[in-house]
Amino acid sequence: MARKSLVGVVADELLDRIIAGDFPPGSSVPGELELSARHEVSRMTVREAMKTLEAQRILSVERGRGTFVNPLNRWASLEAVLRAASEGQNEAAASVQLIELRRMLETGACELAAARISDADIQALFGHVAAMRAAHKVNDIAAFVEADLAFHDLILRASENVFVAVLFAPLHRVLEKRRAETSAVPTIQEHAIGHHQNIAEALESRSPSRSREAMDLHMQQTLDDLKNLVLEAP
Amino acid sequence: MARKSLVGVVADELLDRIIAGDFPPGSSVPGELELSARHEVSRMTVREAMKTLEAQRILSVERGRGTFVNPLNRWASLEAVLRAASEGQNEAAASVQLIELRRMLETGACELAAARISDADIQALFGHVAAMRAAHKVNDIAAFVEADLAFHDLILRASENVFVAVLFAPLHRVLEKRRAETSAVPTIQEHAIGHHQNIAEALESRSPSRSREAMDLHMQQTLDDLKNLVLEAP
DNA sequence: AAATGTTAGATGTCAGACATCTTACAGTTA
DNA sequence: TAACTGTAAGATGTCTGACATCTAACATTT
């Protein structure tokens, strides 16, 4: 476990207070001196924490006036927005919205990939599906998830769109944990194998619309799985 | 013009050197002391600059070892990735990829909005289209662009997906300038008016698939317009 | 009433010091 | 020889105190 530096702790605590509503958007946060006293750190440490929040467009620093909280829709950090959006009973809603976002990016990337993917990569896709089948047979969840992720990563890369990958990375981090949970259910594994097979075949046909449709069905099923798992939480 | 602080300047210069290839991904960046000497600023200033790059996942700082450049696909800043991807003769390719990304998000948001948009918002959409028509008649480009942007922003908000808006904000900043250029061509204005009318009508019918399709056609046209303008640059 | 000067409070930058972590290397020991 | 240990160099982490500069509000002067 990576021990967090003081700067990280201060930034986290400050973000927590912002999300809790202590400093609503448009208002100013306490001055650097006041914060350094409250968190019992030096002013430089507070400044570095502020810099990290400023780089994520959560705060706007105005020299001579103070430091202000930006409205949520200007925040550039998916993780921070997720934390804010998951407050209260909104966690389920936030999860659904994340999947919706993933659906947009993955179906779009799949459509692009259909016209650009190489023969070698298509063979690799079928290889990953085979790996998923094998893992399913021996009930090796870790191997199953690994092949699953590799499958999707390959399509992302095959889309040859750098920006899609950039936007997808934070999503990947956020959804990683839940993916392992859903993949633990054998029935869901079977569904996923079928969908992946269809996607690979669609890409092999080089049809953008068919590829997009195949990925869309897969995403739709993922969303249903999530809803079922979230709603029947023990 | 906002004067940049020294921290911003150092961060920019360092990012420039990274993009130029002075410090390839995986390699380490010079130590804080060396950088403070090179840029003729104090070590604290260098540290704050590094913190901003670290918050964007461009750098990884490891205590006792050094500071390292992350691979491009881990960068969390669309702007930074755009700068890196536009190096050399890649600017046109980067522009196309940005539109592809915008297409994914806007068509997805439009599809979601169809099931969630209010009657009042639909009326507002038709109002924006009317404003575009009026601006087109008197050749008021600024007013045209403003109504255009308001139209798309409204759909984004109507999708009720916070994360889409978050990812779209940086895209918006990047594409804003080019939008003004394309909107200056009368023929393109006429096309856009027709597409916006179709989108509003599709949303009014509350059909997700039809709404998505209407927005997709609009995005396709935008992409074509961009290609024509980029390729025939004077 | 308008222009000007003053001042308090905020962020920006600097200098120097010490703490702590990582790594490499030399030396010690079994 | 091989494994352990101590030491030192170099990196980042943090602290203290100081001064600079910008902003906004208030007081003063014209």
Q: Does A177 contact strand C, using a CB cutoff of 7 Å?
A: no
pLDDT at B53 over 80: yes
At A96 the pLDDT is 87
Q: Identify the bridge partners of residue B197 per DSSP, sorted by sequence position.
A: none
Length of chain A: 234
The predicted complex's ipTM stands at 0.86
Which position has the higher pLDDT, A171 or B58? B58
* A21 domain residue, yes or no: yes
Closest by Cα among A139, A215, A230, A217 to A182: A230
Amino acid residing at B20: A
SS3 A66: strand
- Six token digits for residue B189: 């204005």
Interatomic CA distance for residues B26 and B96, integer angstroms: 28
DSSP B30: P
Same-domain check for residues A136 and A56: no
Specify whether the CB–CB gap between B118 and B99 falls below 8 A. Answer: no
Among B47, B78, B109, the domain boundary falls at: B78
* B68 domain residue, yes or no: yes
Same-domain check for residues A113 and A223: yes
* B95 domain residue, yes or no: yes
Same-domain check for residues A225 and A134: yes
At A61 the pLDDT is 95
Q: Identify the bridge partners of residue B67 per DSSP, sorted by sequence position.
A: B29, B61
B59-62 vs B66-69, strand pairing mode: antiparallel
At A231 the pLDDT is 56
Suggest the residue from B110, B152, B166 to mutate for an interface test with chain A (most A CBs closer than 10 A): B166
| Angle, CA A224 vertex, CA A221 and CA A227 arms, to 5° | 150
- Chain C: nucleotides under 7 Å from a protein CB? 9-17, 20-23
Nearest Cβ partner for B74 among A73, A104, A169: A169
Shortest alpha-carbon distance between residue B166 and chain A (Å): 5
Q: What percent of chain A has pLDDT over 70?
A: 96
* A193 domain residue, yes or no: yes
H/E segment holding residue B63:
none
Residues in chain A with CB shorter than 8 Å from the CB of B104 are 104-105, 107-109, 164
pLDDT at B234 over 50: no
Among B14, B49, B78, the domain boundary falls at: B78
Same-domain check for residues A68 and A175: no
Longest Cα pair distance anywhere in chain B, in angstroms?
Answer: 65
pLDDT digits (tens, 9 = 90+) for A120-175: 999 999 999 999 999 999 999 989 999 999 999 999 999 999 999 888 888 888 88
Which position has the higher pLDDT, B201 or A96? B201
Instruction: Please check whether residue A161 touches B, CB under 8 A.
Output: yes
- Six token digits for residue B26: 């995986």
pLDDT digits (tens, 9 = 90+) for B188-203: 889 899 999 999 999 9
pLDDT digits (tens, 9 = 90+) for A16-33: 999 999 999 999 999 999
CA B2 to C1' C4 (Å) is: 27
> Residue A42's domain is classified under what CATH number?
1.10.10.10
pLDDT at B87 over 90: no
- Six token digits for residue A171: 């999503």
Pairs across A and B, CB distance < 8 A? 118
* A32 domain residue, yes or no: yes
Interatomic CA distance for residues B95 and A150, integer angstroms: 28
CA B65 to C1' C23 (Å) is: 8
Number of domains in chain B: 2
Interatomic CA distance for residues B119 and B115, integer angstroms: 11
* B83 domain residue, yes or no: no
Same-domain check for residues A227 and A113: yes
- Six token digits for residue A158: 């095959």
Range of the domain at A43: 6-78
Interatomic CA distance for residues B5 and B44, integer angstroms: 13
Cβ contact, residue pair B164, A101, below 8 Å: yes
Instruction: Please check whether residue A51 touches B, CB under 8 A.
Output: yes
Interatomic CA distance for residues B104 and A127, integer angstroms: 28
Q: Which long-range contacts (CB under 8 A, 24 or more apart) does A72-76 make?
A: A72/A25, A72/B162, A72/B166, A73/B162, A73/B165, A73/B166, A73/B169, A74/B169, A75/B166, A76/B76, A76/B77, A76/B166, A76/B169, A76/B170
**Chain A residues 65-84, Cβ below 7 A from strand C:** 65-67
Cβ contact, residue pair A166, B104, below 8 Å: no
Taking 3-state DSSP, the helix, strand and coil percentages for chain A, each rounded to the nearest 5, stand at 75, 5, 25
- Residue numbers of B between 108 and 127 with CB closer than 8 Å to A: 108-109, 112
Could you tell me which chain A residue has the CA closest to the CA of B153?
A73
pLDDT at A109 over 70: yes
* A138 domain residue, yes or no: yes
Interatomic CA distance for residues A104 and A106, integer angstroms: 6
pLDDT at A232 over 70: no
What average pLDDT score do residues B163-192 get? Answer: 84
Among B36-40, B54-58, B77-81, B225-229, whose mean pLDDT is lowest? B225-229
Shortest alpha-carbon distance between residue B21 and chain A (Å): 18
Same-domain check for residues A196 and A103: yes
Specify whether the CB–CB gap between B182 and B226 falls below 8 A. Answer: yes
> Residue A122's domain is classified under what CATH number?
1.20.120.530
Same-domain check for residues B162 and B50: no
Amino acid residing at B167: L
Residues in chain B with CB shorter than 8 Å from the CB of A72 are 162, 166
Instruction: Please check whether residue A229 touches B, CB under 8 A.
Output: no
Which position has the higher pLDDT, A231 or B12? B12
At B81 the pLDDT is 93
Amino acid residing at A155: I
Three state DSSP letters for A124-137: HHHHHHHHHHHHHH
Same-domain check for residues A135 and A192: yes
Q: Does A62 contact strand C, using a CB cutoff of 7 Å?
A: yes
Backbone φ and ψ of B69, nearest 5°:
-90, 125
Same-domain check for residues B184 and B99: yes
Same-domain check for residues B223 and B118: yes
Q: Name the pLDDT band for B231 (thresholds 50, 70, 90).
A: low
**Residue A224 half-sphere exposure toward CB, CA atoms < 13 A:** 9
Nearest Cβ partner for B85 among A48, A107, A162: A162
Cβ contact, residue pair A166, B73, below 8 Å: yes
At A234 the pLDDT is 45
> What does the radius of gyration of chain A's CA atoms come to, in whole angstroms?
22
Instruction: Please check whether residue A101 touches B, CB under 8 A.
Output: yes
Q: Which nucleotide is nearest to B28 (CA to C1')?
A: D11
CA B216 to C1' D22 (Å) is: 48
pLDDT digits (tens, 9 = 90+) for B101-135: 999 999 999 999 999 999 999 999 999 999 999 99
Shortest alpha-carbon distance between residue B93 and chain A (Å): 9
CA B188 to C1' D20 (Å) is: 53
DSSP A3: P
Averaged pLDDT score across all residues of chain A: 91
Q: Which nucleotide is nearest to B66 (CA to C1')?
A: D11
Among B78, B98, B118, the domain boundary falls at: B78
* A84 domain residue, yes or no: no
What average pLDDT score do residues A211-219 get? Answer: 96
Q: Name the pLDDT band for B14 (thresholds 50, 70, 90).
A: very high
Which position has the higher pLDDT, A173 or A38? A38
**Which residues, in sequence order, are CB contacts of B217 under 8 Å at separation 6+?**
B195, B198
Interatomic CA distance for residues A219 and B112, integer angstroms: 14
Same-domain check for residues B119 and B220: yes
Shortest alpha-carbon distance between residue B87 and chain A (Å): 13
Q: Name the pLDDT band for A226 (thresholds 50, 70, 90).
A: confident
Among A114-123, B170-179, B189-198, whose mean pLDDT is lowest? B170-179
Among A182-196, A198-212, B12-26, B132-146, whose mean pLDDT is lowest? A182-196
Same-domain check for residues A66 and A110: no
- Whole-angstrom CA distances from B126 to B25, B132, B196, B198 are 49, 10, 9, 10
Nucleotide D12's nearest residue (CA vs C1') is B63
